[in-house]
């Protein structure tokens, strides 16, 4: 397994802290101090965790998935919905017993939820066994925080959101060996009225194109075959930057790199997604034929209240252009049901859009009020039960669409990246350039390899035969 660690490139000051932390950790815990990172939320968090794992290795820790044997426990949290936060509190609670058994272990909470002052205050008050809480923009200072706590300093609460530089040269310990994440930008300036992300991730900032290309090159050289470019709104990549490289141009430059690999990206915002971007997806052979374009609601009235800044009509125009131009396109989307003030008629507009577009799959959410966002102060007369019924209606509609469309793949041959083991003995799973999963006969030696598969039948999953 390739170890994606760049040992010499941690920002200078943090490298010094890492070396000191490593010495202290060995003194305190013995030869093999262990760290466990538990990640909640979106791919952005998964990617951040990979960077923090790199820093933990640099600070002398071995990574483990078993929280009960860890000397350093890090929760990287998500604040997007209340349910996400409840899960985190539950998980933090379980460390009380571990800390009781071994008071020397360190418990840390970081990420989007930790960035909220009210959460940090609650942890300070009610979770005295949590040693450190730090926000999304100071993650690169992890070695410093570990060193300070190990050397006897007090509890650490560091939430500054100064929208400063993006820390580069942070070591990375990637979870995968052939599928990986590549952040191209951080933060969000869109302020959709329901969403907490702009408050916890700060202003939009793009990485330099050279840095992104360099990281892509490294990933390709160490065997990565499926690279997902990450940002809350990748379409506004490069806005306001002197280099003049926009997202379409960035895609072209990565596409031009040598090697056999696939490029994915998320998330696109319909207000900034252009026909030029769709043309770029069509023209770049390494860019996958998948567009994740969240529309949230099919009602113009609700879209306006959400501050989404596009209309149902303009959204459909983009979708139809993409369908007409990209062969075998997979379309996916996010939807919120029960936004404050949404009526059943508004919801029916969402339902009709889903039926019209026929997405490959959907990520659907019941609206969850987030303190401090404009929508949380809007009147919300519809009960949770009623919203639940609408939600089920939406799920049923999407299930019918998926059922109807799945057989369209039969008879087609796709280039598939083999990425996992099937439940069926002797079979592997893989994905085509879109989001279609196909199963085929094979073994572990196929993992991370591209194979051509002809889809033969649907029997709970799509099954095919390898044609070469
Ligand atoms: N930046 C991405 C998505 C970020 S959050 C985008 O703009 O599309 C992922 C999804 O969570 C959103 O698309 C939205 O559907 C959902 N979401 C965000 N805030 C929410 C809230 N308060 N309640 C319910 N769902 C929410
Ligand atoms: Fe949230 Fe909207 Fe930004 Fe997406 S674009 S992260 S939904 S504010
Ligand atoms: Fe959650 Fe933060 Fe992502 S709030 S969805 S982890 S950006």
Question: For residue 373, which ligand has an atom nearest its CA?
Answer: 1
Annotation: CATH topology of 178-288: Transcription Regulator spoIIAA (3.30.750)
pLDDT at 4 over 50: no
Which residues, 6+ apart, have CB-to-CB distance to 153 below 8 Å? none
> What pTM, to 2 d.p., does this model score?
0.96
- Kindly report the CATH class assigned to 290-409: alpha beta
The answer to whether 297 touches 259, Cβ cutoff 8 Å, is: no
CA distance 326 to 285: 11
Per-residue pLDDT of 286-314, as tens digits, reads 999 999 999 999 999 999 999 999 999 99
Q: How confident is the model at residue 5 (pLDDT cuts 50, 70, 90)?
A: very low
Pick the CATH number of 410-467 from 2.40.50.140, 3.10.20.30, 3.20.20.70, 3.90.420.10: 2.40.50.140
Per-residue pLDDT of 367-419, as tens digits, reads 999 999 999 999 999 999 999 999 999 999 999 999 999 999 999 999 999 99
Domain 178-288 shares a fold with domain 410-467? no
Residue having the nearest C-alpha atom to atom 18 of ligand 1? 195
Cα separations in angstroms, 414 against 228, 330, 418, 451: 20, 13, 12, 8
CA 252 – ligand 2 centroid, Å: 25
Alpha helices in 407-452 (DSSP H): none
Q: For residue 103, what pLDDT is reported?
A: 96
Cβ(110) – ligand 2 distance below 6 Å: no
| 3 state DSSP class of 239 | coil
CATH 3.40.50.12160 fits 12-158, yes or no: yes
Q: For residue 3, what pLDDT is reported?
A: 38
CA 451 – ligand 2 centroid, Å: 36
Q: What are 165's two structure tokens? A: 């530089």
CA angle 4, 8, 12 (to 5 degrees): 125
Cβ(296) – ligand 2 distance below 6 Å: no
Question: For residue 362, which ligand has an atom nearest its CA?
Answer: 1
Q: Domains of the chain: which residue ranges? A: 12-158, 178-288, 290-409, 410-467
Residue having the nearest C-alpha atom to atom 2 of ligand 2? 192
Q: How confident is the model at residue 167 (pLDDT cuts 50, 70, 90)?
A: confident
The answer to whether 398 touches 386, Cβ cutoff 8 Å, is: no
CA 267 – ligand 2 centroid, Å: 9
Average pLDDT over residues 74-99: 95
Residue of 365, 368, 375 with the most ligand 1 atoms within 8 Å of its CB, for mutation: 365
CA distance 326 to 310: 22
Cβ(207) – ligand 3 distance below 6 Å: no
Residue having the nearest C-alpha atom to atom 1 of ligand 2? 195
């Amino acid at each position: 397994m390739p170890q994606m660690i760049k040992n010499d490139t941690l920002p200078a000051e943090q490298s010094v802290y890492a070396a000191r932390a490593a010495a202290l950790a060995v003194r305190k815990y013995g030869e093999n101090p262990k760290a466990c990172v538990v990640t909640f939320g979106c791919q952005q968090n998964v990617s951040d965790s990979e960077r923090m794992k790199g820093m933990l290795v640099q600070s002398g820790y071995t990574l483990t998935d078993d929280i009960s044997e860890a000397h350093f426990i890090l929760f990287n949290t998500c604040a997007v919905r209340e349910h996400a936060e409840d899960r985190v509190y539950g998980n933090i609670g379980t460390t009380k017993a571990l800390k009781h058994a071994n008071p020397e272990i360190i418990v840390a909470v970081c990420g989007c939820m930790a960035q909220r002052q009210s959460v940090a205050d609650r942890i300070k008050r009610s979770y005295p066994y949590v040693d450190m809480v730090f926000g999304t923009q100071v993650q690169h200072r992890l070695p410093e925080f570990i060193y300070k706590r190990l050397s006897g300093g007090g509890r650490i609460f560091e939430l500054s959101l100064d929208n400063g530089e993006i820390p580069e040269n942070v070591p990375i310990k990637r979870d995968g060996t052939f599928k990986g994440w590549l952040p191209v930008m951080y933060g969000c300036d869109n302020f959709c009225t329901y969403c907490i992300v702009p408050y916890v991730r700060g202003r939009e900032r793009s990485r330099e194109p050279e840095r992104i290309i360099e990281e892509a090159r490294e990933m390709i050289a160490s065997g990565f075959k499926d690279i997902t470019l990450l940002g809350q709104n990748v379409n506004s990549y490069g806005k306001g930057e002197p280099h003049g490289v926009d997202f379409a141009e960035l895609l072209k430059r990565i596409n031009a790199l040598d090697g056999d690999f696939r490029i994915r990206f998320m998330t696109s915002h319909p207000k900034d997604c252009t026909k030029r971007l769709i043309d770029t997806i069509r023209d770049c052979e390494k860019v996958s034929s998948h567009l994740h374009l969240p529309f949230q609601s099919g009602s113009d009235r609700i879209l306006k209240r959400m501050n989404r800044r596009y209309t149902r009509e303009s959204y459909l125009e983009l979708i139809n252009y993409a369908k007409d131009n990209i062969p075998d396109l997979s379309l996916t989307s996010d939807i919120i049901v029960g936004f404050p003030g949404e009526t059943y008629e508004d919801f029916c507009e969402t339902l009709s859009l889903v039926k019209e577009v026929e997405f490959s799959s959907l990520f659907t959410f019941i609206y969850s009020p987030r303190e401090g966002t404009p929508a949380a102060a809007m009147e919300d007369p519809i009960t949770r039960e009623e919203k639940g019924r609408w939600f089920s209606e939406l799920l049923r509609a999407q299930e019918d669409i998926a059922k109807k469309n799945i057989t369209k793949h039969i008879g087609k041959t796709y280039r598939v990246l083999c990425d996992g083991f099937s439940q069926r003995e002797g079979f592997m799973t893989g994905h085509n350039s879109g989001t279609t999963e196909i199963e085929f006969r094979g073994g572990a030696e196929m993992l991370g390899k591209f194979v051509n598969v002809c889809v033969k039948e649907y029997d709970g999953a799509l099954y095919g035969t390898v044609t070469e």
